[in-house]
Structure 1
């Protein structure tokens, strides 16, 4: 009899505890009432973020899925990463990091950009100064390779007082550059070291070649560096010519 009474008492206590837990989980006091946004947020404001995220939330303080909530924040344009915390009894706190664009990505008219971590993201390009950003092109899954090549080639161009306006990795795996002055350079295939070395040879001979025609390197209109023992060169105001450039320094 004592064992039966103890068992019944234990079952009763468990039922009471379960009922109490169910009541706590469903009580309106624990429904999500507010979201606090923290972090370096410049292209979104807290009101807009809450308006985008709140409709996607389900559950209360105890039952809400923080991973899904984080994904909801990261789906908002310009948000690169989010960490979400519970703040008892009915609030969430989201710490956000925004994308920092380093270049436009893809064709003109696209809203894609690539950030400092070489990740392609989509947001309104009207929110950035597009004139200050280069344009990079290539398959989305190779954005890191394109960014790495850009960073390798940029100081080589800057040493010639040129800036890269556009760098493209074509579907055939070849590299193309357009300078800010509108000159197209076909760089061909190769690693960073190979493409960079070939470009340096071209720039070392460019001044000599342009001087023969009474021009400076600023007259460069285009060049094809894919030739084995030289390059094809186009200068503004000069008919197309073939310039043989030695591969030695």
Structure 2
């Protein structure tokens, strides 16, 4: 015959002592962790003491960058705000993008990309520039390392479109041996250009292909017209390409027109 074994019952005061001991142990452990953390965050050994700057720098140098940014960095290796550090580096003139990461035990490693200026942006009094991505940025124009940049203008947010149009039109004009000095997209969506011989060109509106076709027509037929008057493309003073089947132009010392009838109205 089987007899059931008596079940042992842990007294309440023993349970209470076990719980109390566990709570005290966890509290001591948490206090130790907090103490170690407090020490790590404040010990001088982890203060930011080294900033390594990488990247192809043309308008900045690592020494100047560190001197300008280090004073605004707050915290040590563990507490420094990497987003704030990134923002501080990207506020430096010519810096387009910064990536910042920690480097144990007390350093930061920064990878930088600078803007590469493709054109001036805005009116003559503006200090704006456009980079290869069509982004507008401000910089000291005295630090430009390129000469002969064109000037582009347009409504706010149109810089990428204007830069793309410039890259389409500039090669098309090369057969005339004249350069594209400035290009403007006005509020009506029409394009105006100035060549490096100061000729004013009204390009009209439409798609990039529409405008390019009108410019190609000018390039193709202008030598025939200038030769009749013993002139060259360098003597072009102005041209209006907004006509349906031709264009009107003015040569220095001569005024004439192409195949557009006198009654034709230019397209806006």
TM score, norm. by length of structure 2: 0.86
Q: Is 1:199 aligned to residue 215 of structure 2?
A: yes
On the 8 A contact 2:41/2:76 being kept in 1, the answer is yes
Q: Which aligned segments of 4 or more residues in structure 1 are displaced greater than 4 angstroms?
A: none
Determine the structure 2 residue equivalent to 1:141. 157
1:218 Cα deviation from its structure 2 partner: 2.2
Determine the structure 2 residue equivalent to 1:33. 49
Q: Deviations along 1:89-147, whole A, 9 cap, x unmatched? A: 21111111111111111122322111111111111111115632111111341111011
* Distance in 1 between residues matched to 2:66 and 2:154, nearest whole Å: 34
User: How is 1:29-178 mapped onto 2 (pairs within 5 angstroms)?
Assistant: 29-129=45-145, 131-178=147-194
1:33 Cα deviation from its structure 2 partner: 1.8
On the 8 A contact 1:120/1:140 being kept in 2, the answer is no
Q: Deviations along 1:50-75, whole A, 9 cap, x unmatched? A: 22212321121111111111111111
On the 8 A contact 1:210/1:216 being kept in 2, the answer is yes
Q: Deviations along 1:218-240, whole A, 9 cap, x unmatched? A: 211110112233322110111x3
More moved, 15-24 vs 73-82: 15-24
Determine the structure 1 residue equivalent to 2:200. 184
* Distance in 2 between residues matched to 1:40 and 1:205, nearest whole Å: 45
Counterpart selection for 1:241 from 252, 256, 262: 256
* Distance in 1 between residues matched to 2:49 and 2:156, nearest whole Å: 39
1:4 Cα deviation from its structure 2 partner: 1.5
> Which has the larger Rg?
2
More moved, 117-126 vs 221-230: 221-230
The number of aligned residues is 245
* Distance in 2 between residues matched to 1:130 and 1:179, nearest whole Å: 19
Q: Deviations along 1:198-232, whole A, 9 cap, x unmatched? A: 11112222122223323222211110112233322
* Distance in 1 between residues matched to 2:227 and 2:25, nearest whole Å: 102
Determine the structure 2 residue equivalent to 1:232. 248
**Structure 2 SS opposite 1:77:** coil
* Distance in 2 between residues matched to 1:89 and 1:64, nearest whole Å: 13
More moved, 84-93 vs 206-215: 206-215
Q: Point out where structure 1 has 5 or more consecutive residues left out of the alignment.
A: none
Cα RMSD (Å) of the superposition?
Answer: 1.7
